[in-house]
Structure 1
Amino acid sequence: MTDVAQAGLIALLNDAAEAGAPPTIALMRLLIEAPTEIAARQAIDRARMVDPRIALVATLWRDHPEAWAKVRGTVDDIAHQHQAETPDAVLAYWATTFDHLVEASPEASVALYSLGSPALLAVATDEIVTLMGDWGLLGRTRDALDLGCGIGRFLVALAPHLRHITGLDLSAKMVAEAKRRCAALRNVAITRSSGRDLDLVPDQSLDLVLAADVFPYLVQASDRFATAHIEGIARTLRPGGAALILNYSYRGDLEADRRDVAALAGRNGLEVRRDGTRDLTSWDAAAFLLRRP
């Protein structure tokens, strides 16, 4: 590995520390970019000499030695900039990809920053659920939708706080895994979706929609899919209902995301209550909270 490349990895770690990124995010980014496991470890050793905060990343990797294999095994199968001939072909690609990923590592398949660890994924999930409670989004008289439910982590965590929750996902094997994990929960229903819209969901049947790291795939596939889902959210929410979108895109342009979300919300009669805020300590997701008046 060249000195320039090594310097780039060190800069990545130092930038993450300077920005206050969670150690899970810093380690995930390093493992994605490093050409070898040895190069990643050398970068941590050198970076921590400049910034003591990098020691948290080293400790995290020590406590989760499977991180390299889990992260690299996942990214080898994912191309966030995948190009296909048609938007429907992109959706088909993601359905097939996530079918494979969930078999390789269920936790990494839904949250790469979990490093494939059930314990780290549980911490992140619980933090999001707690935040949703603090924001007044939960209640035992409320019905919810987990859009892109994946392996069902939010279905399991949210079921005790809601009257009913439905999970939708594009991947058949994700749906199968979610059903397995939620088999004992009577207020949970799980269905495979087309990924194109929310036509399966009745009008004004929901008080809450959660979309955690789902819209980036819709935006990449086609703006019309993202538009159709915002329209579906507006149609299916009851008055006073809310939608929490965690990450709108992977473009790396938060201002563009804010403009797009504001425009779509405005056209569909939704109010933007949180506009791409960073509220989590275990994940650097941008939170968009929309409400139907």
Structure 2
Amino acid sequence: MSPQIALARLLLAGGRVDAAHLADVAAGHPGSHQLAALARLAARHGDRLESLGRLARSPLWPSGDDVLASTAAIFDRLAVEAPEAGVALYSLGDPDELAAATAELVGVIRAWSPSASGRILDFGCGIGRVAIALADGAESVLGLDLSGQMIAEARRRAEGRGTVRFARNAAARLPVEPGAIDLFLAADSLPYVIHAGAFDSFMAEAARVLRPGGDLLVFNWSFRGDPERDVTEARALAAGHGFAVIRAGERPFAIWDAQGFQLRRIP
């Protein structure tokens, strides 16, 4: 586990995270490189820990009967309060930490899929960090998100880049023609679809918009804490919607702890 993920988990646990206390704990275990790295990271971001703790204790998971509306409301708030931490708490609200994690993710995407040079759809794009990073070297990138505030922030950050565009989309049907996409990316967005009970229709839409031979890359299938169930479910849905499973449940990152899935549209 990276120190970024470890610190994010401490924040999500709900208690107060104190950089000085972590330094004392690390000093008491001089042989633990992981504790030392965690203490250094906490010290570097000590001025943010209190506000990050409040953010971690705020509602971050949709509730109620209308899961999609609840999800949009949460991310509308996060886009204003803490855009970097809102899309990746392990960035600790630091643009440089987020940039490093994004670069690692983009490197994996490009290594896994030759379709990363084509027409990309970033589903649940947030502030556009991945879409913008992929735009250099791609034919085009379309970022979609439920949150209007996230889309507004993504557009602000992407100003002047002609190969990437963003749109709010809250409908079950994606605003894309059949076969118009080479790479469909869902990074930390599918868990919300699963929570809404809409993952079968999601797979049908992904199959519709992807060209034959195009890739669906999913990073974090769900947040259920059951990796074996996620892999089993991914394989079953792939078979039912015309995908071949290339990768399922791999962990390719040093910073992020996400599981990666690669499904290829069968010609």
TM-score, reference length from structure 2: 0.93
Amino acid at match of 2:233: D
CA–CA separation in structure 2 for the residues paired with 1:70 and 1:157: 28
RMSD: 1.7
CA–CA separation in structure 2 for the residues paired with 1:269 and 1:115: 39
Matches within 5 A, 1:75-224: 75-80=56-61, 82-85=62-65, 89-140=66-117, 142-194=118-170, 196-222=171-197
Instruction: Give the conservation status (yes or no) of the 8 Å contact 2:14–2:56.
Output: no
Instruction: Give the conservation status (yes or no) of the 8 Å contact 2:76–2:150.
Output: yes
1:65 matched residue in structure 2:
46
Instruction: Give the conservation status (yes or no) of the 8 Å contact 1:276–1:287.
Output: yes
Q: How many residues align?
A: 264
Shift of 1:249: 0.7
Shift of 1:137: 3.2
Structure 2, unmatched stretches of 5+, are none
Instruction: Give the conservation status (yes or no) of the 8 Å contact 1:273–1:290.
Output: yes
CA–CA separation in structure 1 for the residues paired with 2:235 and 2:20: 42
Q: 1:281 aligns with which of 246, 254, 261?
A: 254
Shift of 1:34: 4.8
Amino acid at match of 2:217: L
Percent sequence identity over matched residues? 39
Task: Tell me if 1:226 matches 2:199.
Answer: yes
Aligned in 2, Cα 1:254/1:44: closer, same or farther, shift over 3 Å? farther
Shift of 1:45: 2.8
TM-score, reference length from structure 1: 0.85
Instruction: Give the conservation status (yes or no) of the 8 Å contact 2:245–2:263.
Output: yes
Instruction: Give the conservation status (yes or no) of the 8 Å contact 1:70–1:105.
Output: no
The Cα offsets for residues 175-227 of structure 1, whole Å up to 9 and x where unpaired, read as 11111111211111211011x534312100000011110011111122xx111
Instruction: Give the conservation status (yes or no) of the 8 Å contact 1:155–1:182.
Output: no
Aligned in 2, Cα 1:230/1:23: closer, same or farther, shift over 3 Å? same
Aligned in 2, Cα 1:146/1:48: closer, same or farther, shift over 3 Å? farther
Amino acid at match of 1:109: G
* Structure with more contact order per residue of length (Cα contacts < 8 Å, sep ≥ 6): 2
CA–CA separation in structure 1 for the residues paired with 2:23 and 2:172: 43
Q: 2:34 aligns with which of 53, 62, 65?
A: 53
Shift of 1:73: 3.1
Q: 1:262 aligns with which of 235, 254, 257?
A: 235
Instruction: Give the conservation status (yes or no) of the 8 Å contact 2:116–2:183.
Output: no
Shift of 1:29: 0.8
Aligned in 2, Cα 1:247/1:275: closer, same or farther, shift over 3 Å? same
Amino acid at match of 2:136: P
The Cα offsets for residues 124-143 of structure 1, whole Å up to 9 and x where unpaired, read as 00011111222233454x10
Aligned in 2, Cα 1:43/1:59: closer, same or farther, shift over 3 Å? closer
Shift of 1:76: 2.7
Aligned in 2, Cα 1:138/1:240: closer, same or farther, shift over 3 Å? closer
Amino acid at match of 2:161: L
